[in-house]
Structure formats: structure tokens, C-alpha cells
Structure 1
């Protein structure tokens, strides 16, 4: 178990060793999931992103998803992302996305922790710019409780962004970026959970230096 954690922590740090530009960011997330019936779920998530290099607010991502619970561990989701983007708080471009995903909750137990996964497919459009950008976002998360049966836990996660095609705004074909995160999650109330952590986002740019974003991540989630 200790060796696994060391490997995962090393993976989080590895991209930062490459020659790349650096940016410090803050991401805040609020989400709510409503149980509509035994099988149906409705999820709403708002993410606000702030950047030192972009002089403040640069993105507000609103994700609305309807999910159907196939089994205890598997849920199929589909929905829409409304994603206005900014430069120093001034609006620059509107992005729309269709999103389809399958989530696999607590599919493997590794030591005292559990592994979950998600496979997400997105189609992206930007107003005033031609083309549909397709990308796949595989994601894995390992949750390790600090004590047996406890709700407060260490979270380690990885997500890759794999672009299927090039457009005027999607410039890389193949792996375009990866996100690695280490965080602590804890319940605040019966239906409220908080997570605070560090996320490292590494961007692959064939014609320029790679990018490294060092992100302080704060999230609050509600379930009903």
C-alpha cells in the first residue's frame, strides 16, 4: 500500500520536471446531485477558474447531466456544458459542449482504499468559429480513508484529455493535457461534502513549450 501511494505521488510530480511555462490558478467547484428515482439522477455543477497569467477569471463552466443508474456501480450520463471564457474578467468567447459519460463507482478495492473510474466523451463548438472538436477524457480516482470506515479520506486522481481531431480552436491531435490531483475529502454535514487539494495540469504543445498549471482546488458537493 505504501509503495502504491509513492508511485501515485511520483506520477503527480513527473510532468513538472519537463521544461514548461508555469501558471498559478484557483478552481472553485459547487455541485449538486438529485436522486429522481431508483435509477434516474440529475447533476448540476458550476466551476469557476481563476489564473495569475490571465489576470483573474478566465472560465465559468456549467455542467448539467441526466444519469441512469444501470447497476450499483455503473451510471450512464448525458448532458450539456455551457462554458463562457474570459480574459481578465472580460468575456472573450462562448463554448458549448455535448457530454456523454459512464461512471464506475468503487469498482476495485486496493488495500484499504477503493478505485473508481469515468469515461467521458465531449463534442465542442465555439460561437463564430467553424468546426466540431471531439475529445475523450478517461479518469481514475483512488480514495484512501484515514481510518477504517471513516468518511475523511485522501484522494489521488488522474485525467487525460485525448483529442480526436483538429479544429481552429483544438490544435492538438492525441493527448493534449493531463490532470493529476491530490486532495483531502471530508463530510461537513449529512448531505454535504468538501474537498480541498492541489491539482497539476500539464499541457502538451507541439510548437511551443509545454504548460504547467499549479492549481489550488476547492469544491463543495451536495446530494439529495
Structure 2
């Protein structure tokens, strides 16, 4: 319990430290992200296994109408180390197109540890740490990114199939690259939304994400994003 209190304190301190850095001039854009995600345990002799699968696909439309689009597919396999703690290894293929029509392809190998941190204010907190190795066809350097996500989910009173969702995820670039800028804090994502459990196997999450991106040598960017996520167990 004491360790969990430290985690919550760290989460709140991160929010306090991150937001003051965003008080200078930025460029603002609006967009929409659509996401399909599926994850579950693999069957083993008619039962469940400690092995899990993961797959998500995303279509991102940033600065709607400008032609700036992003697409991502991300499979992975995971192993449940103990109850509520999983280790993952996966690959992601990321393609982006800017307003001028230039396309860039990126490969991302990634490793992740996620766990249930505990209960808080009638809800549940989960956390994950992800390490990504990124290579892109418009640059030669390998980018290494550390991501730390904290997610809070609280069922609404009298509506157990509906939940309040709050998420925070800072990204830290661990090395300089010739295509992604200098090492340091790269971006921060804050999400506030709602979740609906549509059936035993399908749920829906929708809400607002503030994505703040630190840009070396230019104005930082803030993306105001509508998020629509469909989650399913196959």
C-alpha cells in the first residue's frame, strides 16, 4: 500500500512538472485518431495460458483537411509473470504523410512491462513502461524512446458498464538522432474520456487527448485530438 501511495504521488508530481513547461508559444492543431485494439490470453489445452497476444491498428488524422495522416499496426506477444504483471515484446510499422505529400516509413521494436498498481478513489490504476527502438527511412540514426503511462479507470456510480478514464503518458528520447532532434522530453499525452462495455468481448473508449510535442529549433506543437477506440477479445 505504501508503494502504491508513492506511485500516485509520482504521477501527480509528473503532471505538475510537465504542464508548466507548456506555457510558452505553441502551434495548435486539431485532429482525430481511430484505434482498434485486441488482446487476450492464448488458449492452452482448452484453458487459458500465461501467454498473451496483442494487436492494434490506428489511423490518425492530424490537422484535419491538411493531408497530414499517420497509420500504425502493432502486434506483440506477452507473458504473465504473475497476477496482474505482464511482459511484452513486439513490433510496430508506422507510416506518416505530411501536408506536402511526403511519406516516411518507420519500424519500431518495443518491449513493455505493465501492471495493476492498485485501487484509488473507487477506481483502479494501471501502469506501463515501454522501451522503443525506432528506425526511419529518412534518417540513419536509431532512436530510443522511453514511455511511461499511468491510467486511471473509475466505474460510474449506478452504471457499472460505464467508466471515467484518465491517462498520462510522457515520452523521453534517450538519444539524439539526425531525424528526431535532441535527447530529452519529446512529448506528453493527457487523455480524459469515457468507456462503455458493450458486451463481454467488446468495449468502446472515446474522449479528448492533449498531445504536446517539444520541437527543437522551432515552435512546439499542441494537438487537440478526438479519440475513438474499439477494444475486442477475439
Normalised TM-score (structure 2) = 0.85
Mapped pair 1:30 → 2:40: no
Q: Note the C-alpha offset of 1:87.
A: 2.5
Contact 1:58 1:89 in 2 (8 A): no
Determine the structure 2 residue equivalent to 1:50.
Answer: 61
2-side partners of 1:152 and 1:89: how far apart? 41
Determine the structure 2 residue equivalent to 1:126.
Answer: 136
Determine the structure 2 residue equivalent to 1:60.
Answer: 71
1-side partners of 2:151 and 2:40: how far apart? 22
Determine the structure 1 residue equivalent to 2:162.
Answer: 152
Determine the structure 1 residue equivalent to 2:150.
Answer: 140
Contact 1:84 1:91 in 2 (8 A): no
Determine the structure 1 residue equivalent to 2:118.
Answer: 108
Match of 1:70 among 72, 75, 81: 81
Match of 1:194 among 194, 204, 215: 204
Mapped pair 1:98 → 2:109: yes
Match of 1:204 among 183, 190, 214: 214
Contact 2:181 2:216 in 1 (8 A): no
2-side partners of 1:32 and 1:99: how far apart? 17
1-side partners of 2:73 and 2:200: how far apart? 25
Q: Which runs of 4+ in 1 moved over 3 A?
A: 10-18, 88-91
2-side partners of 1:117 and 1:32: how far apart? 18
2-side partners of 1:154 and 1:188: how far apart? 15
Contact 1:48 1:57 in 2 (8 A): no
Contact 1:185 1:194 in 2 (8 A): yes
SS of corresponding position for 2:141: strand
Superposed CA RMSD in Å reads: 2.4
